[in-house]
Amino acid sequence: MTADNTTTQASSVHGTWTKRWTFVLAASGSAVGLGNIWKFPYITGENGGSAFVLIYLVCILAIGIPIMIAETLLGRRGRKNPIHTMRDMVTASNASGFWHVIGIMGTLTGILILSYYSVIAGWALAYIPKLAGGEFSGATGALANSIFGGEQGFLSQYGTLIFWHSLFTIVTVYVVAQGIEAGLERAVRFLMPALMILLLILLVYSALEGAFAKGAAFLFTFDISKLSWNSALTALGHAFFTLSIGMCAIMAYGAYMPKQDSITKTITVIAVMDTGIALVAGLVIFPLVFAHGLEPSAGPGLMFISLPLAFGHITGGQLFGALFFTLVAFAAWTSAISLLEPGVAWLIERFGFSRRKAALTLGASAWVLGLGSVFSFNIWQHYKFAGMFTVFDGLDFLTSNIMLPLGGLLIAIFAGWVMKPEMVDDELRMESPWLRSAWWFALRYISPTAVAVVFVLGVYDKFAG
């Protein structure tokens, strides 16, 4: 059998999504994660509200969607795990073996991200019983700070962190071990609708109990004076990272996509859902924060100090606080599943592992590596590589600032310049010549240039600063 024949097989050996919307839910779940909840709303408010959203949407259209389409079509064309897909695509395109690095690096990136992502997701799991049990009821800012990061606080208790890190890893491994239909499909069919329902419930609650007008103004007031060159770079970077581009998760999911489904329409829906969920999350969070005179922030400070403090002073805060952290855990879970899948598919195809054995092997590997991130917040916090990186910081910087941008850049170049155009057209089947030309131009010129800028400036800022 020729290499090109292997790339056009009807379906993956792992099966296919039974419906188009299952792929939409799965890929949206991969894209929707912690960044949508603790980063995007904040950077929107800080950079001009709807003016920033406009720039962000342009970046999604010009950079995010074109590369995501390219990654999906590579996956569907290959019908294998990302490493073997790229091997076959390289052979079919008579290209240099260098391009194999896309599948290898992307698969490795997913495992590295999962190792520390499961630690942070474990924090969200831990805060569900904390909120439900009333630990923050009537709490002061000092107490909320102390509970999370104090000398005897949550982050200092490495045994507790290991427990929640382990629990999150176990539930992720369990889903992936069940396979496409019984595991991934069943999980996303429950988790994504549940996530959206929780988000809508919390939105109504925030509108009733929070300073909704102030929160909406923070997010959506068109303030062009807050826009800067840095705002554009922030929008560019987040547009790229939020869609899970470059880690081969979308390539792996694309391998299970039915041939008749439109890649372009499907990816556009996913991008809209990802952005919409992030904006609604902001409308949930900031009215509650502003209602109690708290300063908006991004990251752990917002999630584990400001919000629990706000819930602790609101009617029904115990219940709705617990629901909020359930929402966060669900978002993290759907992303984590996609991080594990590419490596699992590779072990099955390359070494003949059973799906359960493959999921356990890689899950255990990510768990062990994740212990370094756990200890970064307590007993190893003073040990730093190059004088600036804890294990957690190092893994985050390596994956977010180096491996993901490089992966996305190489995908854009390979699909736009190296892969045979007839193979691309066979997968995309765009009816509009104008739309096809626009996508081709964006993929070849705009996307690689923009991602290269993010990559260079991200590395420069870290070491020059």
| Separation between Cα atoms, residue 55 and residue 274, nearest integer Å | 16
Model confidence at 224, pLDDT cuts 50, 70, 90, reads: confident
What was the pLDDT predicted at 42?
82
DSSP class of 420: -
| pLDDT above 90 for 146 | yes
| Separation between Cα atoms, residue 110 and residue 224, nearest integer Å | 37
| pLDDT above 80 for 432 | yes
Count of residues making up the chain: 465
| CA dihedral over 254, 259, 264, 269, signed as positive or negative | negative
Mean pLDDT of the 324-340 span: 93
Provide the terminal-to-terminal Cα distance of the chain, rounded to the nearest Å: 54
* Residue 66 · residue 443 · CB < 8 Å: yes
* Residue 104 · residue 429 · CB < 8 Å: no
pLDDT, tens digit, 9 for 90 and up, residues 150-161:
888 999 999 999
| Separation between Cα atoms, residue 367 and residue 296, nearest integer Å | 32
Model confidence at 8, pLDDT cuts 50, 70, 90, reads: very low
Model confidence at 65, pLDDT cuts 50, 70, 90, reads: very high
Helices then strands, each counted (H, E), the chain: 24, 0
pLDDT, tens digit, 9 for 90 and up, residues 72-118:
999 999 999 999 999 999 999 999 999 999 999 999 999 999 999 99
CA atoms within 13 A on the CB side of 48: 19
The tokens of 154 are what?
């949550």
> Is this model's pTM higher than 0.95 or not?
no
| pLDDT above 60 for 411 | yes
Model confidence at 1, pLDDT cuts 50, 70, 90, reads: very low
Model confidence at 220, pLDDT cuts 50, 70, 90, reads: confident
| Separation between Cα atoms, residue 194 and residue 325, nearest integer Å | 13
| pLDDT above 50 for 3 | no
Model confidence at 298, pLDDT cuts 50, 70, 90, reads: low
Q: What are the residue ranges spanned by the domains of the chain?
A: 3-464
Query: For the purposes of burial, counting CB atoms within 10 Å of the CB of 265, is it exposed (0-12), middle (13-18) or buried (19 or more)?
Result: exposed
Query: For the purposes of burial, counting CB atoms within 10 Å of the CB of 391, is it exposed (0-12), middle (13-18) or buried (19 or more)?
Result: buried
Ranked by mean pLDDT, the top range of 142-151, 182-191, 367-376, 429-438 is: 367-376
Radius of gyration of the chain (CA): 22
Nearest to 183 by CA among 193, 174, 170: 174
What was the pLDDT predicted at 465?
58
What was the pLDDT predicted at 97?
93
Model confidence at 45, pLDDT cuts 50, 70, 90, reads: confident
Query: For the purposes of burial, counting CB atoms within 10 Å of the CB of 262, is it exposed (0-12), middle (13-18) or buried (19 or more)?
Result: middle
Single-letter code of the amino acid located at 391? V
Query: 438: which residues sit within 8 A by CB, 6+ positions away?
Result: none
The tokens of 266 are what?
């499907």
Mean pLDDT of the 460-464 span: 75
What was the pLDDT predicted at 11?
67
Query: Would you identify the CATH topology of the domain 3-464?
Result: Amino acid/polyamine transporter I (1.20.1740)
Q: The tokens 């929107």 sit on which residue?
A: 44
Q: The tokens 């980063």 sit on which residue?
A: 39
pLDDT, tens digit, 9 for 90 and up, residues 382-409:
999 878 899 999 999 899 888 998 999 9
Q: Is 315 helix (H, G, I), strand (E, B) or coil?
A: coil
